[in-house]
């Protein structure tokens, strides 16, 4: 008697085992070390650490700015992907390569470059200051840095889906008398929506953890422009490992919760769309 049915595609057990081992070593082990370190704190001091007024203020800055940046890129990223896929123009390859630049650049370099550009004596900062907009060393600067860093996520997730879309669908809609807006909202958007959502999620998650690029442009004023990763660093500077990991755990749990929520939303949407088909 055979213990199990062999698959058409052999090697499942080996591949699964390898995947689990790899994930455990690379992701789960460091994360559980994080939790283990926090275990040294009892619940009340953990709670006191993570709900301190100054720390709570940083959650608002970090999650708020990340959300705004991800939303901006949701629209701008879609636009860029659209232009790159739909229109031929000279220098397209160059622009295409440019999109990935925020990925390749060390984030601290990005932060310093942005701060130089948008500082009150910078090339862009000076004229902006004249019309009353301060960018560098304000929360606006944080949003700017996060938007820069997370741009590739939306573009690179939406682009392939747009490329694969069948033109016939749009043509059919058009011949049936749909307006342009109807084609976009009823035909194109539902197709690319899961990809858009993925891009948004990735951008949002990346922004939450961002440190290097933000720290140079934020100004880091307490209760105003401090980000949560800075709180972690400042705990570490006081050798308060447990306090630092406690805040890290909060970030981790919130981020994971958000990712789970968005993944669930995606799954639900896919199911609903699938049924409609």
List of residues contacting other proteins (CB under 8 A): 49, 52-54, 115-116, 119-122, 136-137, 215-216, 219-224, 230, 233-240, 243
Select 188 or 242, whichever has its Cβ closest to other proteins.
Answer: 242
Element at 244 (helix H, strand E)? helix 241-276
Which of helix, strand or coil describes residue 5? coil
**DSSP result, 69-133:** HHHHHHHHHHHHHHHHHH---TTHHHHHHHHTHHHHS-HHHHHHHHHHHHSTTSTTHHHHHHTT-
- CA 27, CA 238: separation in Å to the nearest integer? 27
Min dist. Cβ of residue 160 to other proteins (A): 39
Select 73 or 234, whichever has its Cβ closest to other proteins.
Answer: 234
Select 136 or 183, whichever has its Cβ closest to other proteins.
Answer: 136
Select 191 or 220, whichever has its Cβ closest to other proteins.
Answer: 220
Min dist. Cβ of residue 80 to other proteins (A): 30
Token digits for 15? Answer: 């591949």
- CA 211, CA 277: separation in Å to the nearest integer? 44
User: What are the two backbone dihedrals, phi and then psi, of residue 207, each rounded to the nearest 5 degrees?
Assistant: -65, -35
Select 54 or 272, whichever has its Cβ closest to other proteins.
Answer: 54
Min dist. Cβ of residue 143 to other proteins (A): 17
Min dist. Cβ of residue 222 to other proteins (A): 4
Min dist. Cβ of residue 247 to other proteins (A): 11
Going by C-alpha positions, the residue among 201, 57, 199 that lies closest to residue 139 is 57
């Amino acid at each position: 008697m055979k213990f199990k049915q062999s698959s058409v595609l052999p090697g499942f057990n080996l591949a699964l085992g390898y995947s689990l081992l790899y994930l455990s070593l690379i992701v789960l082990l460091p994360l559980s070390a994080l939790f283990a370190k926090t275990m040294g704190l009892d619940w009340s001091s953990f709670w006191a650490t993570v709900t301190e007024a100054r720390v709570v203020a940083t959650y608002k800055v970090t999650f708020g700015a990340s959300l705004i940046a991800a939303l901006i890129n949701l629209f701008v990223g879609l636009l860029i992907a659209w232009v790159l896929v739909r229109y031929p123009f000279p220098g397209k390859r160059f622009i295409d390569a440019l999109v990935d630049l925020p990925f390749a650049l060390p984030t601290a370099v990005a932060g310093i470059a942005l701060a130089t550009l948008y500082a009150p004596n910078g090339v862009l900062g000076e004229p902006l200051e004249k019309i009353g907009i301060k960018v560098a060393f304000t929360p606006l600067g944080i949003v700017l840095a996060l938007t820069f860093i997370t741009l590739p996520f939306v573009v690179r997730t939406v682009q392939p889906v747009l490329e694969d879309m069948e033109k016939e669908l749009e043509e059919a809609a058009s011949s049936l008398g749909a307006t342009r807006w109807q084609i976009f909202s009823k035909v194109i958007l539902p197709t690319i929506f899961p990809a858009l959502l993925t891009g948004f999620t990735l951008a949002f998650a990346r922004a939450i953890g961002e440190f290097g690029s933000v720290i140079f442009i934020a100004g880091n004023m307490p209760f105003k422009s401090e980000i949560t990763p800075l709180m972690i660093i400042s705990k570490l500077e006081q050798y308060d490992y447990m306090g630092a990991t406690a805040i890290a755990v909060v970030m981790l749990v919130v981020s994971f919760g958000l990712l789970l929520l968005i993944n669930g939303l995606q799954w639900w949407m896919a199911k609903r769309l699938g049924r409609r088909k």
